[in-house]
Amino acid sequence: MWLRESPDSQPLRFKQLALVIEDDPDLAIIFAGALRQAGFKTEIILEGRYALERLAETVPAIVLLDIHLPYYSGVEILQKIRTDARLVQTKVMLATADSIRAEQLQAEADLVLLKPISYRQLRDLAERLGPFDPVD
């Protein structure tokens, strides 16, 4: 499943796109809320195959990526992002409970977060990763 916009309303002042690629719908909504509060427009994607489709269409500022996803893993998606010249500026935040795999992927991601991740922690880190560029 793929939601073009996260369920909460998003004021027009949000300019940069953040993709939340997470198969747990409840966590995805929480993550999207934190990223919106950090100044990003958000889209939620619940499956790896839809994430790859969306990444072929757009260039997000940030991707919050779960490692364990249905159909295509977060590792495959991370590799796609890192090898696509269009996505060279995209920041990738891995979100996982798998500490061993997170350590293995640390060099490929801009940030690795171990679940559980607090709303506040995610919001604050997202603010540091991508400059908030409001539309005037």
Q: Mean pLDDT of all residues in the chain?
A: 86
CATH number of the domain bearing residue 57: 3.40.50.2300
**Residue 6 located in a structural domain:** no
Is pLDDT at 22 greater than 90 in this prediction? yes
Q: Tokens 């293995």 belong to which residue?
A: 104
**Residue 4 located in a structural domain:** no
pLDDT tens for residues 77-134? 999 999 999 999 999 999 999 989 889 999 999 999 998 888 888 888 888 876 445 4
**Residue 83 located in a structural domain:** yes
Residues of the chain above pLDDT 90, percent? 65
Beta pairing partners, 17: 41
Range of the domain at 87: 15-117
What confidence score (pLDDT) does residue 134 get? 43
Taking Cα atoms as reference points, which of 56, 18, 52, 57 lies closest to residue 35?
18
Q: How many domains does the chain have?
A: 1
Which amino acid belongs to residue 19? Answer: L
